[in-house]
Structure 1
Amino acid sequence: MIHWCATAGFLMAILPVIATPGAGMTLLVQHVTTGGRRRAVPVILGTATGLYAHATLAVAGLSALIMHSAQAFTVVKLAGAAYLVGLGVWTWHTATRPRPHQSADRPAPPASAGPPPPASADRPGRARSVYVQAVLANVLNPKAASIYLTLVPQFVVPGSSVAGQILGLATVHAVLMAVWLLTWTALLHRGAHLVREARFRRVVGRVSAVVLVALGVRAATA
């Protein structure tokens, strides 16, 4: 059963959290600028999957066990930090590595040559990779787990199904996050003339790498 007053309160409480740049936003900017708007889909789906994973753990009580066990929480926190740092290093390497089709000594194809072949970034395997990155970036984020252990219980109404309410609030969270990321996807698309420039993509990749490493360091030291 949906309790609209509790849901409205949760909306107001979760908006600042969603608007705070995190790993999901960083992945979105990185992949949309390199692969186009379609890359936003696996990022959004992966982020939503991570949110539902935290909600499911909260329902099962496993997240509470982690939060109440200092050792278990430390392991989760360090695993998430290591993943973000590793992803940042990989992103930096990818951004600085020259692409074969962008080599300076290769002439541009003539206009009559037809459309270029589909980029590897648009292959299903690449989409799955982006999806997995987004899932892990969210699942291994202790801050996301703490939302469902500290914030969500404040909006659970006694007398109704706890599991249904938590999953309902997770759905609200996922929808708001999707709207936020889609808004940024549209803004990035409007700047497509910049996105097409290799130099801009390199800058975005390097900035994304630094942000991911910084998020990992912050997660490890928080």
Structure 2
Amino acid sequence: MVHPVGLAGFLVAVLPLIATPGASLALLVQHVTDGGRRRALPVVLGTVTGLYVHAALAVAGLSALVMHSSVAFAAVRLVGAVYLIGLGLWTWRSASPHAAPAPRRRPRPRGTDSVYAQALLANVLNPKAASVYLTLVPQFVEPDRPLGGQILTLATAHALLIALWLTAWTFLVLRASHALRTPRFRRTAIRTTSAVLIALGIRSAVA
């Protein structure tokens, strides 16, 4: 277990990173706008799963290997950048006025899996998310105590905080549901999301 003071310090330190708009928030706004509150859950779960992937890699030491190898780090960064840019372009295309509108109640059995995978990959392929567990987490763990349990505790606290943040944004988006349902606003929201994803990808590529 992590000391309560250390846990509180970690949450204070990671909060600005969570509050900074990123791929997870962009995906959340897009999918909630498109499909309602049910589409928020897979985004949250995908993001949280990504955090645990980074935590597991940190425990295993694999992330440290990537971060200390400039070639490996550049490869991970570029893969993540390409994914974000590709996702942004695909999202922009989905807002085309020439695209056929989706039926209101047509079942989409694989939709939830697709949203979950998008959120998961957006987090896993983000090297800056991995760097949290390599630069920030070590400051709040005690080397003379089991490392795995401490990192798991911090990752769980991190996951709960980001889940609360995304849930709060879900309710904010739903409050404006009457506006979000208009085709014009929907296209604007999707294209804004696309621009954010592309910008994040470019920033990751050139950072």
Residue 32 of structure 1 deviates from its aligned partner by: 0.4
Give the distance between the partners of 1:143 and 1:32, measured in 2 at CA.
25
Shift of 1:95: 1.1
Contact between 1:3 and 1:157, CA under 8 Å: does it hold in 2? no
Residue 31 of structure 2 is matched in structure 1 by: 31
Match of 2:143, SS? coil
Q: Kindly indicate whether residue 62 of structure 2 is the aligned counterpart of residue 77 of structure 1.
A: no
Distance 2:133 2:126 in 1: 12
- Report Cα offsets for 1:20-49 as digits up to 9, x if no partner: 000000000010001101100000000000
Shift in alpha-carbon separation, 1:215–1:101, aligned structure 2, 3 A? closer
- Find the aligned partners of 1:79 and 1:97 in 2 and give their Cα distance: 30
* Whole-angstrom distance in 2 between the partners of 1:196 and 1:217: 30
Partner of 2:63: 63
Answer whether contact 1:24 1:47 (CA < 8 A) is retained: yes
Q: Find out whether 1:141 has 2:132 as its counterpart.
A: no
SS at match of 1:42: helix
Q: Is the contact made by 1:85 and 1:213 (CA closer than 8 Å) also made in structure 2?
A: yes
In structure 1, the partner of 2:90 is 90
Structure 1 residue matching 2:95: 3-state secondary structure? helix
Q: Which residue of 2 aligns with 1:110?
A: none
Structure 1 vs Structure 2: percent identity of aligned residues?
Answer: 61
The one-letter code sitting in structure 2 at the alignment partner of 1:198 is P
Shift of 1:2: 3.4
Q: Would the aligned equivalents of 1:37 and 1:189 in 2 still touch at CA under 8 Å?
A: yes
**1:82-129 Cα deviation digits (max 9, x unpaired):** 000000000000011545347xxxxxxxxxxxxx86234xx3300000
Provide the residue aligned with 1:112 in structure 2.
none
Q: Which aligned segments of 4 or more residues in structure 1 are displaced greater than 3 angstroms?
A: 97-102
Matching of residues 135-214 of structure 1 within 5 Å: 135-214=120-199
Kept in 1: contact 2:2–2:141 (CA 8 A): no
Bigger Rg, which one: 1
Which position in structure 2 is the counterpart of 1:14? 14
TM-score, with structure 1 as normaliser: 0.90
1:158 Cα deviation from its structure 2 partner: 2.9
- Identify which range, 35-44 or 2-11, moves more after superposition: 2-11
Q: Which runs of 5+ in 2 are unaligned?
A: none
Q: Deviations over 1:111-166 (max 9, x none)?
A: xxxxx86234xx33000000000000000001101000000110002322101111
Q: Is residue 2:22 matched to residue 1:3?
A: no
C-alpha distance in structure 1 between counterparts of 2:39 and 2:129, whole Å = 23
Normalising by structure 2, we get a TM-score of 0.96
